[in-house]
Amino acid sequence: MKKIVLIVDDNDRYANNLKIWFEKKGFETVRAVDAVEGWKFYSQDKNRFHTIVTDITMETQTSGLWMIRNIHKDGYQGNKIIATTGFDFPGVMSISSSVLPWFAGIGWMVPKVPLKAGTVVFQPTSLKKKISYESIL
């Protein structure tokens, strides 16, 4: 049985680049275009997804962040990843590396500048320090 990843992003380019990466690794992908739809897919079968990747800014400036926090508070034990343009600003990743694990159990961060070019880079947070995402596939 294939592992399934939920990709929550309103930007087709970023979502498609993530989809391509995960499918090359043998995953099945499910795409939600906003946090409301992401929560809906997650809620239908809470144990379905190996990994959830979400943008932060979609229907509101922080809707993806609150969606993934709610998923975390709901007890989801899979991998949680945030992919956002916010990580492309100096200093944001280093601060986020400490805050996001506490706030929503985020294990990895994906900056969108490389993602826009089709390269998926997983940066571990303090929760998954020294653990490459690829090592848990």
Q: pLDDT at residue 1 above 90?
A: no
Measure the CA–CA gap between 61 and 113, rounded to whole angstroms. 19
111-125 confidence digits (pLDDT tens): 999 999 999 999 999
Cα 133 to chain center, whole Å? 12
Domain boundaries, the chain: 4-136
pTM: 0.95
Q: What CATH number belongs to 4-136?
A: 3.40.50.2300
